[in-house]
Structure 1
Amino acid sequence: MPTYSKRYVSLIFSLLLFNDAFAREGLKVAVAGLSHDHVHPLLSAYQRHEVDILGIAESDQALIRRFQARYKLSDTLFYSTVDEMLQAVRPDVVLAYNAISEHVKIAEACLPLKIPLMVEKPLAINNEQAQRIAALSAAHGTAVYTNYETTWYPSNQALKQMADGGALGTLKKVIVKDGHQGPKEIGCSEAFLSWLTDPEKNGGGALIDFGCYGANLMTWLMKNQRPLAVTAVTRQLKPAVYPNVDDDATIILEYKGGVTGIIQASWDWPYSIKDIQVYGEDVSFHANRR
């Protein structure tokens, strides 16, 4: 089982504590799904009484029993669907830990009720679903957050500040490396793997799982400028392990002014890596994962 930093939980809470009342009274959350392994730090925080969980929507009874045994969760917390849960409880925010393809359905349940939503990256499996979520957010004036953890690494924040302050001069090239040995290899749960390696539920493999980090960082560094051209090459280096999705991807982004972004996303690195290298006219910065 992978381990997660407390900083991950702190980030979620800091994003969502936009109301002073939440800070005073404590954040009241509801959970949509338990199949994403990133739910573990939230439940650990619940055990430490750092967050109040009002309800959990999950239909997989075996998964429910496993989490109940590990975190001592009461039967009264559980609901079969998000709609059923939101009829019974009114949280400050819903946190989604399920397949990427299901984010749009959760948005359709939460946003008309003006309940903010946080989903794990990426936002959606395709542009149609992303646009649907964006339209719901705008129509109901309710925020949707996507957790791209690399954006809030202190090293990347420092890099962005230096770049914005002119320390790079003219930006020339960005190389982003994100990935690890593979989700099976690092011990992701079967519930997580069941959709993470399904192209219909995740949208792809390493391209989606890790390529989205680089796309997010490039958009951030380029101040929301759209690329002029995008080229991607995907490969299956371990087809016996991941027969249905790519496990290695290289994405090249070309921007106005000659800036190039190279994103290397893989489930075949020899170790976990989330690095970014930024090159200017005379200097370069290298931000490690920390």
Structure 2
Amino acid sequence: MKTVRIRYCLFLCLLAQTVSMNTSAQSTKKPVRVGVVGLVHSHVNWILNRAKQTGDPTIEVVGIAEPNREVAERYMKQHGLPMSLVYPTVEEMLDKTRPDAVTAFNEISNHLNVVKVCAPRGVHVMVEKPLAVSIDQARQMEALAKKHNIHLLTNYETTWYGSNHKAHRMAVQEGAIGPIRRIVVHDGHDGPAQMNKEFVAWLTDPVTNGAGALFDFGCYGANLATWLLKGEKPRTVSAFTLQIKPDVYPKVDDDATIILEYPKTQVVIQASWNWPFSRKDMEVYGETGYVFTLDGTRMRIRLKGDKAEQTTEAAKTDAPVTDPFDYLAQVVRGETKSVDDLSSLKVNMIVMEILDAARRSAQSGGKPIALK
């Protein structure tokens, strides 16, 4: 009996020591140093809100590269941040602040330039969706990332929706609705015309954004579908675009439908700047049931044997990480792998193939484009 008590005491001592060591390691872990490239994307408020948090254990915003001083002064004033954070060029910001990673909130067409500057310095990059304006630019970015062994991630708002991860778990990991046969994704709002002028200027230009709603919101559905279908490429891509408000958006489409054909599955992506309300929702149909995501939490589900549809809510914990910058920190620290998830380069290269083919299809009047 005495021997058992001694062993138990030793076990408790070892357990306490392990917990103490883990707690100590967590408390001494330094925040990942992050630079911000560009302030012309409205999503930049996301990270600037984090920059205001002193003592953030996860990330520290050490510098911001923005050549437009008027824009920089407006954002720094809005968020209560010092202008000393701002540098006129990416190169100067990198050289003087030495970040571990950068987040790009500039024009999509300039994502390639960010990688050209950061990759040789060993600085990891997370860009706002989509990855690039063309498959050619995306391939150059991919080559640079692989050559210099950096992480190249793409951030989507919908990546952090607990509902999407719960739908993925049910449909893909658990097979609760049977083989997926159809996915329908709706994304968009009533248009960007009333947003910040510097954002609207490049968002409505086919050179700097790649297209209009076709790229701006079509990328969400391409990303989710590729993830749900385990990285499978569609056999063909067809797309149809409209210019409902040519007086407001004279250079680009403002409404798009993309159809992806797989051997036994069809994906319909509806992207628009003309929805009466903002929406980011998805319908996933299987052979024996379906799961709908209505927003970040609310869901509708009907499985085989159910007499009626059920409503449910996903929790924030259904997503493995609820914030892109926490995720970026984990990737940089090697605490998680980005191989085939929503942010990964592998998935987003397929997204770019889809978007590139969709643009060509729309230009041809909807002719199906085969992917190699």
Q: Give me the TM-score of the superposition, normalised by structure 2.
A: 0.70
**Residue 89 (structure 1) aligned with residue 94 (structure 2):** no
Q: Give the letter aligned to residue 164 of structure 2.
A: N
**Residue 181 (structure 1) aligned with residue 186 (structure 2):** no
Determine the structure 1 residue equivalent to 2:179.
Answer: 170
**Residue 231 (structure 1) aligned with residue 233 (structure 2):** no
In the alignment, the residues of structure 1 paired with residue 81 and residue 49 of structure 2 have an alpha-carbon distance, to the nearest angstrom, of: 11
The answer as to whether partners of 2:52 and 2:81 remain within 8 angstroms in 1 is no
**Residue 24 (structure 1) aligned with residue 32 (structure 2):** no
In the alignment, the residues of structure 1 paired with residue 137 and residue 181 of structure 2 have an alpha-carbon distance, to the nearest angstrom, of: 33
**Residue 191 (structure 1) aligned with residue 198 (structure 2):** yes
- The structure 1 residue matched to 2:248, chosen from 241, 247, 250, is 241
In the alignment, the residues of structure 1 paired with residue 239 and residue 138 of structure 2 have an alpha-carbon distance, to the nearest angstrom, of: 20
Larger Rg: 1 or 2?
2
The answer as to whether partners of 2:73 and 2:83 remain within 8 angstroms in 1 is no
SS of 1:141's partner is coil
Determine the structure 1 residue equivalent to 2:43.
Answer: 38
Shift of 1:47: 1.3
Q: Aligned-pair RMSD on alpha carbons? A: 1.5
Q: Unaligned regions of 5+ residues in structure 2, if any?
A: 1-24, 297-372
In the alignment, the residues of structure 2 paired with residue 80 and residue 130 of structure 1 have an alpha-carbon distance, to the nearest angstrom, of: 25
Using a 3 Å threshold, how does the CA distance of structure 1 residues 22 and 58 change in structure 2: closer, same or farther?
farther
**Percent sequence identity over aligned pairs:** 46
**Residue 264 (structure 1) aligned with residue 270 (structure 2):** yes
In the alignment, the residues of structure 2 paired with residue 22 and residue 182 of structure 1 have an alpha-carbon distance, to the nearest angstrom, of: 45
In the alignment, the residues of structure 2 paired with residue 98 and residue 60 of structure 1 have an alpha-carbon distance, to the nearest angstrom, of: 11
In the alignment, the residues of structure 2 paired with residue 112 and residue 208 of structure 1 have an alpha-carbon distance, to the nearest angstrom, of: 28
Using a 3 Å threshold, how does the CA distance of structure 1 residues 23 and 170 change in structure 2: closer, same or farther?
farther
In the alignment, the residues of structure 2 paired with residue 142 and residue 103 of structure 1 have an alpha-carbon distance, to the nearest angstrom, of: 15
- The structure 1 residue matched to 2:112, chosen from 84, 104, 109, is 104
SS of 1:133's partner is helix
Shift of 1:66: 1.0
Determine the structure 2 residue equivalent to 1:9.
Answer: none
- The structure 2 residue matched to 1:210, chosen from 214, 217, 236, is 217
Shift of 1:194: 1.1
Determine the structure 1 residue equivalent to 2:16.
Answer: none
SS of 1:176's partner is strand
In the alignment, the residues of structure 2 paired with residue 280 and residue 104 of structure 1 have an alpha-carbon distance, to the nearest angstrom, of: 38
Q: Give the letter aligned to residue 283 of structure 1.
A: G
1:54-86 deviation per Cα after TM superposition (whole angstroms, max 9, x unaligned) = 111111121122123222332322211111211
Shift of 1:27: 2.6
Runs of 4+ displaced beyond 4 Å: 20-23
Q: How many residue pairs align between the two structures? A: 268
Q: Give the letter aligned to residue 70 of structure 1.
A: Q
Q: Give me the TM-score of the superposition, normalised by structure 1.
A: 0.89
Shift of 1:127: 0.4
Q: Unaligned regions of 5+ residues in structure 1, if any?
A: 1-19
Using a 3 Å threshold, how does the CA distance of structure 1 residues 21 and 108 change in structure 2: closer, same or farther?
farther
Shift of 1:22: 10
**Residue 68 (structure 1) aligned with residue 76 (structure 2):** yes
Determine the structure 1 residue equivalent to 2:150.
Answer: 142
1:96-155 deviation per Cα after TM superposition (whole angstroms, max 9, x unaligned) = 101000000000111111111110000000001000110011111110110022133111
Shift of 1:170: 1.7
1:176-228 deviation per Cα after TM superposition (whole angstroms, max 9, x unaligned) = 001111112xx421111111111110001100000000000110011110100
In the alignment, the residues of structure 1 paired with residue 180 and residue 78 of structure 2 have an alpha-carbon distance, to the nearest angstrom, of: 48
